[in-house]
Each structure stands twice: as C-alpha cells, then as structure tokens.
Amino acid sequence: MRNTVLAAFLFLAPGVLWSDPLPSWAEGETKTQIVDFVDKVTDPENAAYVTPAERIAVFDNDGTLWAEQPVYFQFIFAMDRLAELAKEDPSILSSPTLKAAAQGDLATVLEGGHDALIEVVNATHAGLTVDAFQDAVAEWLDTARHPSTGLPYDQMTYQPMVELLRYLRDEGFKTYIVSGGGLHFMRVFTEEAYGIPPEQVLGTYSETTYDSSGDTPVIAKASGIVFVDDKEGKPINIERTIGRRPILVGGNSDGDFAMMEWTTAGDGARLGILVHHTDAEREWAYDRDSAIGRLVDGLDKGPDMGWVIVDMAQDWSRVYTGAN
C-alpha cells in the first residue's frame, strides 16, 4: 500500500511541477521574460538570487489588475451611491455636478475635471463608519453590472494577472496593490479577487476619525483626501508603508511611471511589467490620448529601462476572470 502511494506520488509529481502557472498568457517573449525573471531570483545558485523577505511585488489596480473603462469602477460606485442617497434625501444634490452624477451623466461630470470627481467622492464616501462604507461597497459589487460587458465589476479582473499574482506568491513573493483607488473601497474585494489581504493594499485615503464617545469606539470616514496614491505618491507610499524597494512592479498608465521607475532603478535583478491596452475587441484599446489610464511616458521610456510591455491583444489568451 505504501509503495503504491509512493509510486503514485512520483508519477504525479512531475506533472505538478511542470504544469503551466500562467495558462492565460500566450507562449512568447513576454511570458518567457516573466518566467525567466522569477526563475532567476528564486534560484539560490543564481547570482541574481533574492531572499524571500525581499521578494516584494507591487501592482497598480485600475487598468492593471482589472478594467478601468469607461471610468474607474469606484467612480461608478460613487455615482450609483449618490443616486441611492438622493432617493432618501434629494437635497444632497446641491450642485450641477452632483445632479449630473446622480443621473449617471458621466460626460458632464468629467467636464468638471478633478474637482468634480472629488466633489462626488466626498459626497458619497464620507460621514459614515468604515464598516458601513465597506458594507455599501460589498452590496454594490453584488448587484451592479458593467454597462458594456454585463459582468459584475469584480469579475472584470484580468485572469492573466490573477494567475501572475498567484504564481509570484507560490514562488515566495509578497504581493501588494499600490493604487490611486480608495483604500477602503479596494479592501472589500482584493482578498477574494486577488488573494491580497487588507494589509497589503495601499491606496488613496481620506481623513478618518476615531470616536470613543459612544458605547463602542468607531473609526469613520471624513471628507477630505489626505493622501493621493498616484504618480510620485506611489513610491513615497511604498517606502513609507512597506519600507523596502520592490523587485517587481506592474502598471499600465503614467500614474504608475514613478513607481515603475523607482522599482526598476534598484540594484540587482528587477522587473517592470507595463500592461498596454491594445485589445479593442475583447477589452479596450487606449494609451496616449485617453482621459482614463493615459500612457505616454511608459511607452516612450519604458523599453529603454528594460520594462516588459504586455501587448494585451497578443500576450493574453484570455482577458476577464469572469468570461472567456
């Protein structure tokens, strides 16, 4: 009996070891570069070997791990929530921007630029406890559907990237999200969608307050953004929160440029992975002229810095986790 088990194990083991950890990545240069990098830094015999403690991998979220069109999903949540809140208290729609947002009139809101976005976020993300806010996000994720794909938003994660995250963790990496998205928003789904626990999610955050005047102390979200986790804010937040320079980074827009530059400028082996949205058929095709996920510097300077540019149309055999 024991010998049978042993034989079965020996027979199965090679299959396990040789199974492809990245089945949704097409065979080719991009996939090879990623796997070669991981092989190199995890091989104690290799000069590029990195100890597990230093195997930090950071990823942007919007446009890198899940889709971001026609606008960041968190903003769709904000508009939906505003419409909900206005049903109970129409006076909340105290400006043309807020009225437009509650009607889902994205074009009008976007005309107002950054200030308009902040106004909508403040009106929908503040004045409640973190727990209550996250309950609202969870309920929205359960019920809302994307306007063009019809998928739940948390099924519009990129299956190749989900596989990459899992592969990296299996190889001893610690995987983090470093996103311009809201910290409390993301933490609702990152563990289930990506296997990334709350303490490994870095994002933009508002002021929060600690109030112990009631029966039990609570932490609540206040108006006003304290830290914007974008552009130079990304390496600053990584240094502040993680305290180590990552060895691998994934991004897709110029908001990720500084974090990718900082990571790949480090000593020793480093890998930068830039997701280029080239797939108008299965996803969207956009870069230099896009209002969302604008990508200029990464395309112009990334190749010289040795970054791997992912051509989504060519390199991914599958796009969304929720559909083939």
Give the whole-angstrom CA distance, residue 231 versus residue 255. Answer: 4
Nearer to a second copy, 27 or 239 (CB): 239
| Three-state DSSP state, 25 | strand
> How many residues in total does the chain contain?
324
Min separation Cβ 145 and a second copy, Å: 27
User: Which CB atom, from 240 or from 288, has the smaller least distance to a second copy?
Assistant: 240
Q: Which is nearer to a second copy, 288 or 301 (CB)?
A: 301
Binding site for a second copy (CB under 8 A): 53, 130, 174, 183, 187, 197-199, 201, 205, 208-210, 212, 216-217, 219, 232, 235-236, 239-244, 258, 261-262, 265
Q: Give the integer Cα–Cα distance in Å for 249 and 261.
A: 9
Exposure b/e, 1-40, CB count within 10 A at least 16 = b: eeeeeeeeeeeeeeeeeeeeebebbeeeebbebbbebbee
Q: How far is the CB of 208 from a second copy (least distance, A)?
A: 5
Nearer to a second copy, 23 or 195 (CB): 195
Question: Measured from the CB of residue 111, what is the shortest distance to a second copy in angstroms?
Answer: 31
Q: Look at residues 82, 72, 73, 74 and name the one whose alpha carbon lies nearest to residue 103.
A: 82
User: Minimum Å distance from CB 212 to a second copy?
Assistant: 6
Q: How far is the CB of 207 from a second copy (least distance, A)?
A: 9
CB closer to a second copy, 130 vs 309: 130
Cα–Cα distances in Å, from 236 out to 132, 243, 272, 294? 29, 10, 18, 21
Distance in Å, CB of 13 to a second copy, minimum: 22
**119: number of CA atoms within 13 Å, CB side?**
19
Residues in Cβ contact with 16 at an 8 Å cutoff, skipping those fewer than 6 apart: none
Per-residue b/e over 109-120, b at no fewer than 16 CB within 10 Å?
bbebeeebbbbb
| Nearest to a second copy of 93, 178 (CB atom) | 178
